[in-house]
Amino acid sequence: MCHTENIAALPTEEEIINARNTIIEREAQLVEALTLLANARRRVADLGGKWDLTNPINDVLCNVQNPTSNVGDIETQAPEAVKEKASNEHFLALSDALREVKRIRRDILERKAWISPIRRLTFDVLSYIFEISGEDDWKTILSVSAVSKYWRDVVLVTPRAWQFPHLKYCVNPKTIMLFLERSGQRPLHVFLPPRTAYGKNRQFELISPFSHRLRCLSLDNFPLGSWKASFPNVRSLSLRRSSSWAEHPEISITTFPVLRHLVCMTSIHKHTDSGILHDFPPLESLSIVIGSHFEWLWILRNCEETLLSLKLELYHSFPTNPVFHFTLPKLTSLEIGHSIHSWSEHRPFKLDTPLIEAYVERRTPRMGTLVLHEDTTPIKYMRTDRPLHLLLTPALRVLQLENARDLSRVLSSLRWNDKLGSQLEAIEVKQDDLENEVEYIAGRVTEKLTDINRARPRPIQVVALGQFGDLPGMIPVHSCRVYTPGYFISSEPRNSCEMVIFRSFCYNSIVWLMFHGAGGGQASLLDTNVAAAFFIMWHPKSLATLPTQEEVINARKAIAERERQRKEALTLLANARRRVADSGGKWDLTNPIDDISSKNQIPALDTVDTETQAPAAMKEEASNKHLLALSNALRELKFIRQDILQKKAWISPIRRLTFDVLSYIFEFGGEEDWKTTLSVSAVSKYWRSVVLVTPRAWQFPHLKYCVNRKTIMPFLERSGQRLLHVFLPSKLGYFGNPLFELISQFSHRLRCLSLDNFPISLRNVSFPNVRSLSIRRSITWGQHPHISVTVFPALRHLVCLTSIHKHTDVGVLHDFPPLESHSIMIGTQYEWVWLLRNCEETLASLRISIAGFFSPNPAPRFHFTLPKLKTLEIGCTPDSWRDLHPFEFKTPLLETYIESHILGSDAQPLHEHTAPIKYMRTDRPPDLSLMPALRVIQLGNSAALNNMLSRLLADDILGLQLETIEVKLDDLYALVERLGGPLAKRVRRVSQTRSRPIQFAVLDQFEDLPGMIPVHSCGRHMPCADV
């Protein structure tokens, strides 16, 4: 057996191969050891011995007792002594077998951990992982520091991993204080949960001593008296309370000297002794609710000169007068929305925004095509939920439509008037609205779009998105992050011809700037330095190879130099634009070369009166000269930006990821969005080779987010013969689903299938490898697919959210597959009885939803014996009566039991055989005397916790095996307030009076209990996934 001398060191390639071979041998030994263990247990059981698996040595020592003083009648006692000796030998053999199994398992785990790909991650990659993990769940930063010394060193020098304590998911002050102490002096971005009482917020009291470190703060509102504190470094403040209150904190330059971003989801009322409206900070972004009070008016007045982004929520209907006028010279992003309390199109303000680029309207009344904001001429990016008149937005480049039905109107107006939307590049539509209109989009809209693009020099792209990307400058809501402007997904199209012109013109641009300068005379020293730096700039020998440490240092220096050049180029560009504007020239920033060539026209044949035309010709020549300088400045700036991005990409840590790590990333990415597997293969040859040999990256095509046949077919072809886990969206019609007809060509490769229901025409298609089938339609329908051993020979898991009705010409109830897990709805029809009868001997997990009303008199009661069932879930819909359920189950091996949506306060469970239950979830306080083996209980509401604690305190015999009580987070804040009083004392008393302490946990979401059936999901950890 191969052993490693130093487990702390990273394994070499040869050691990895040896370790994998050793693991295979160890697993074979484990199988043999498990066989010996089973035989030893059987021998002990045959002798009638009792043994303790947790510590068999103690049990053996207890059985090997000293001889008694009464040694008479030795001949009679001899057979018993021989039997006792044989029993002890079997006990020792059982103990040795257990120790051998544990030793082999421990050795396998150690070797797997030693060669695990995660140990070979570089410092940069681990730093990125810890940074993302810290933002997602800040408590993990405290956990990973205990894994190893190397991980602890990495996480301690990763600043952004310690910046986002989202305190909603932690109420333990010791954990919070430990995080704040270890984070050093790093700036914090804190999210505080809703307060438990009007004057108390314990999390706020914990972080208030660290107010000097707060960079971003998100909370409901300030506790009383807290505004006397100072927050010298807070740049972003979010107040989430969505109802007005009469007392507000003092938001002033004194309290928040560097505040630049404010999100306020409330109507602000002026406090009697606060100066909130006197010395308001100069905000750059503001989100505010406009209510019946007019304090918002003074806030806007104070920030009028500095605002870059503004979001206004109209909370009330307003009279036609008065109307307040505001001039916002720097504003580039504006959002206007209506609440449910405001229905009129009238707004009590008028905004003058000369530099606006992004404009968003939300929940506006669908009355006409006029927008709420009048100054729409400079708008480039827009999102709206009602029809838009394109004459109002001549500079519009990207349009996002909340309602898919508005797409046809926009395309019709573009089709009949080619002068509208001359700058328009993309129209984005919400995917949710298009899910049931795929056939319509593929027909009429495609035809209109083809006619439009044929008549336009710049084609328009129509994109369906599951979620819109933020437009430039949009203000994030309810987020506690470093404030950054919104990102824009759609990139500007660029063809190959433009790239050739761009690259070939760079040299001429630099030479022209070098000899003529920005002003047309002698070149300045600054211009000469810029040109010289351009020619001596360091470049890598090959972008295809990985950079060495020295090359990384050189590349970073080159990037710093390029950043300096970019700032100088921006200055030159601004000067060039000013000169062109002063000379009266007009230029097109999208394609300055066409504009220059149009001005350099061929002279006319009529050259009379040359002396009179000379001044005009000189002026024209000077104007052309300035235009050329402007064009060169633009091209230089683009070249510098491209070179910066290229070098940053070359030294990016992601290029140094190993094969194993990339494979894991592609696997998770393919499960999250299957289209990414097609995208990453185009990044590089190495990535393409990795993703093509990563089987699990090609197994989960969730077709809800893509209905394009041209995208689906390459995915199915490139995925080879790998088994697929397919999610099909809602059907377009009962008699056909184009996606299903497409997938049915690959029916032999389907492993898991989730769909609404089967089209009638494809009922006879065979699915030889489908192990998991989910039918999501939640209404009853009279014709059911032919679910039989012939069509689904490998089917073992069935989720059916409908009442099954037998069809006249199918044998759905005759040769039903032997299911291992089944989720079924019980209605007034009784076909479900025969389904359960067919699976009675094989079911391991069962979920039943009672959807019908069963009257007490004529309703029969069916008895089932389920010898292998380990998990049972019973739920009721609102129209069912729990006391009249028509079934009774005998479950000798049941371990997990779940009740949901059960009416009434009776503690008696619906299932009668509850003695072997170990794990339970319920909405009502259970009777613990019926469940002596219960170890974990999950309570759907905190009201049942008091009842359970009372029973545990009253009777020490109840719940002797109970280890954990979990409560849903919905009532967390009321529960936390009581934890400081009687409830906390009762919890401590329960734990103190028991030999095994009970753990209490308050969770945002329950984890699945063993054997639970997932609904509407298909993924790596589902029962359908390959092992």
Tokens 């002068």 belong to which residue? 419
pLDDT tens string 566-615: 888 888 887 777 777 766 654 444 444 344 334 444 333 343 344 444 55
User: Domain for residue 588, yes or no?
Assistant: yes
**Residue 85, domain member (yes or no):** yes
Q: In the sheet where 845-850 sits, what is the strand order? A: 724-727, 750-755, 772-775, 797-800, 821-826, 845-850, 871-876, 896-900, 919-922, 936-939, 964-968, 999-1003
923 domain-assigned:
yes
pLDDT score for 845: 92
Residue 336's pLDDT is 87
Rounded Cα distance between 64 and 69, Å, is 16
Question: What are the pLDDT digits (tens) for 310-344?
Answer: 998 877 656 556 678 888 999 999 998 876 555 45
Q: Are 707 and 729 in contact (CB under 8 A)?
A: yes
How far from 75 is each of 47, 66, 81, CA to CA, in Å?
21, 18, 10
Mean pLDDT of the chain: 72
Express each pLDDT in 473-529 by its tens digit: 777 654 554 333 333 333 333 332 222 222 223 333 322 222 333 333 333 333 333
Give 68's pLDDT tier (boundaries 50, 70, 90). very low
**Mean pLDDT score, 39-44:** 78
Query: 872: pLDDT confidence band, cut at 50, 70 and 90?
Result: very high
Whether the Cβ atoms of residue 1009 and residue 898 lie closer than 8 Å to each other: yes
The reply to whether 34 falls in a domain is yes
Phi/psi at 644 (nearest 5 deg)? -60, -50
DSSP 487: P
Query: Which pLDDT value is given to residue 977?
Result: 53
- Give the three-class secondary structure for 433: helix
The whole domain housing 574 covers: 496-600+617-655
Enclosing H/E stretch for 824:
strand 821-826
Top mean pLDDT of 610-619, 657-666, 866-875 is at 866-875
More confident residue, 559 or 486: 559
For the ranges 348-352, 435-439, 562-566, 837-841, which has the lowest average pLDDT?
435-439
Question: Model-level pTM?
Answer: 0.50
Helix-helix angle 496-516:525-535, to 10 degrees: 140
- Total domains in the chain come to 3
Q: Smallest Cα–Cα separation from 712: which of 754, 665, 674, 768?
A: 674
Residues 6 or more apart whose CB falls under 8 angstroms from that of 629 comprise: 512, 513, 516, 518, 520, 576, 579
* Most confident range, picked from 59-68, 549-558, 703-712: 549-558
E-strand ranges in 645-776 read: 724-727, 750-755, 772-775
Examine residue 907 and state whether it is found in any structural domain, yes or no: yes
3-state secondary structure (DSSP) of residue 18: helix
Question: DSSP code of 211?
Answer: G
Residue 566, in any domain of the structure: yes
Task: Indicate the pLDDT class of residue 253, thresholds 50, 70 and 90.
Answer: confident
| Of the candidates 208, 205, 262, 256, the residue with the CA atom closest to the CA atom of residue 231 | 256
In a domain, 646, yes or no: yes
Instruction: State pLDDT tens for residues 516-557.
Output: 333 333 333 333 333 333 334 577 777 777 888 888 888 888
Asked if residue 825 belongs to a domain, the reply is: no
